């Protein structure tokens, strides 16, 4: 069995691919990381029919891209390649690809869909019966090589990511008239009222109220058109967290673009570096005492930002999920805050920065647990368990 990965399409996903390829190579497997825009012919010598596995992220290479199609079928289908497709976003973003598995993959039976949230996994199983093998696996943490001793830290709080103001999404809310706008805003209000409920749960409740006889196919298609709702809520919660910290007087290190659009009560403009390569983000995270995470709607899963902070020997301060509560203890390996009460975030941050003994203890425990259980080597073991 040998493995193929992609790079150069999306930098972060290429980074994940390289880390996973390294973990599998260390176990003696042949791995090949292919530049997405290179001549696909260079892949052919790497493919052994019935023995090769493509591990990709977010449907890269299995979305009908012409580079990887021949005579109307993908090269993976023609050569009997097993596909492991890891979705790092909600499956609603990949409706067309999930609906067309048989066209882009070798077969449904030899395609593995991997979700980083258990609700995402349930969603795929419920709405895409063509997906036979569906798994749950949170991404690994990265950055242990950048971990620093406490005396070398130079930032109190860091946030790595991007920001888009909610005003950007207003055009999508208003585009179909007043009645639809009210419908969309009702979903948004419900999601903000209780962020612990998954986006699909809230959307389905509202859709079924309007269309009680909608078929599963109609439901999955409709939800796939609500991406702007998911993003609106994601960025609003991100803004509220940053504003709460700014109001409390914290100087936040921001790595990413768009933060100048955050509406602070003080009128102060937040700004960050352009989001640089993943390795740079990890290196900067290692210089921070606390890494802020605002979960992008993953109510029963985890985000790699949390585990990577731990790897970097930085305390992860995050809102909770079912999976996180099952696997970590508050004020032992990480610290939780209430996403519905942003002011609690500022209080928790102040407590941690004023109690260096607690800060150090939680950071070290998180670092140890991440190294023990949440490396790319451990994720390679999970993947091999599905394939062998």
Write out pLDDT tens, residues 185-223. Answer: 999 999 999 999 999 999 999 999 999 999 999 999 999
Range of weakest confidence among 86-100, 146-160, 207-221, 269-283: 269-283
Cβ atoms 19, 57 nearer than 8 A? no
SS3 at position 50? coil
Enumerate residues 6+ apart whose C-beta is below 8 A from 103: 64, 73, 74, 77
Cβ atoms 317, 339 nearer than 8 A? no
| DSSP, res 128 | -
Answer yes or no: is pLDDT of 348 > 70.
Answer: yes
The pTM score is: 0.96
Confidence of residue 111 (pLDDT cuts 50, 70, 90): very high
In angstroms, rounded to a whole number, what is the distance separating the alpha carbons of residues 272 and 259? 6
φ, ψ at 90 (rounded to 5°):
-60, 140
In angstroms, rounded to a whole number, what is the distance separating the alpha carbons of residues 64 and 42? 19
Cβ atoms 124, 358 nearer than 8 A? no
**Nearest to residue 235, comparing CAs of 254, 203, 259?**
259
CA angle 388, 12, 1 (to 5 degrees): 20
φ, ψ at 210 (rounded to 5°):
-85, -35
Q: What DSSP element (H or E) covers 20?
A: helix 11-26
In angstroms, rounded to a whole number, what is the distance separating the alpha carbons of residues 353 and 360? 10
Cβ atoms 241, 294 nearer than 8 A? yes
Q: Mean pLDDT over residues 292-304, rounded?
A: 96
Q: What DSSP element (H or E) covers 208?
A: helix 199-210
Residue 44 pLDDT: 85
Residue 50 pLDDT: 87
Cβ atoms 230, 199 nearer than 8 A? yes
Answer yes or no: is pLDDT of 275 > 70.
Answer: no
Write out pLDDT tens, residues 44-85. Answer: 889 998 899 999 999 999 998 988 988 888 899 999 999 999
Answer yes or no: is pLDDT of 273 > 90.
Answer: no
Write out pLDDT tens, residues 362-386. Answer: 999 999 999 999 999 999 999 999 9
Average pLDDT of every residue of the chain: 94
Distances (CA, A) of 234 to 46, 162, 242, 289, 290: 40, 11, 13, 24, 21
CA angle 327, 329, 334 (to 5 degrees): 100
Q: Mean pLDDT over residues 147-156, rounded?
A: 96
In angstroms, rounded to a whole number, what is the distance separating the alpha carbons of residues 123 and 102? 19
């Amino acid at each position: 069995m040998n493995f193929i990965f992609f790079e150069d399409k999306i930098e972060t996903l290429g980074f994940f691919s390289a880390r996973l390829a390294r973990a599998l190579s260390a176990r003696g497997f042949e791995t090949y990381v292919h530049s997405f825009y290179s001549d696909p012919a260079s892949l052919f010598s790497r493919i052994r029919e019935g023995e090769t596995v493509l591990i990709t992220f977010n449907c890269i290479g299995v979305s009908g891209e012409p580079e990887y199609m021949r005579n109307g079928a993908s090269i993976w289908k023609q050569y009997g390649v097993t596909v492991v497709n890891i979705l790092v976003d909600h499956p609603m973003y990949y409706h067309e690809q999930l609906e067309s598995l048989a066209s882009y993959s070798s077969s449904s039976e030899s395609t593995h869909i991997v979700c980083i949230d258990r609700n995402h996994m349930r969603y795929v199983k419920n709405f895409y019966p063509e997906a036979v093998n569906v798994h749950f696996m949170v991404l690994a943490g990265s950055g242990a090589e950048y971990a620093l001793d406490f005396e070398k830290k130079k930032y109190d709080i860091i946030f790595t990511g991007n920001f888009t103001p909610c005003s950007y999404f207003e055009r999508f809310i208003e585009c179909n008239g007043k009645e639809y706008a009210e419908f969309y805003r009702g979903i948004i209000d419900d999601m903000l009222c209780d962020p612990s409920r998954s986006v699909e749960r809230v959307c389905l409740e509202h859709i079924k109220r309007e269309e009680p006889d909608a078929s599963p196919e109609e439901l999955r298609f409709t939800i796939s058109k609500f991406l702007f709702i998911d993003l609106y809520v994601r960025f609003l919660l991100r803004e509220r967290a940053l504003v709460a910290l700014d109001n409390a007087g914290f100087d936040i290190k921001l790595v990413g673009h768009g933060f100048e659009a955050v509406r602070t009560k003080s009128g102060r403009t937040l700004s960050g570096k352009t989001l640089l390569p993943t390795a740079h983000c990890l290196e900067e995270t290692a210089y921070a005492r606390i890494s802020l995470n605002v979960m992008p709607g993953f109510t029963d899963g985890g985000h790699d930002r949390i585990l990577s902070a731990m790897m970097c020997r930085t305390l992860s301060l995050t809102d909770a999920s079912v999976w996180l509560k099952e696997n970590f203890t508050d004020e032992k390996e990480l610290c939780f805050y209430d996403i519905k009460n942003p002011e609690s975030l500022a209080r928790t941050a102040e407590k941690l920065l004023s109690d260096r003994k607690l800060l150090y203890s939680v950071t070290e425990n998180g670092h140890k647990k991440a190294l023990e259980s949440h490396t790319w080597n451990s994720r390679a073991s999970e993947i091999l368990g599905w394939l062998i």
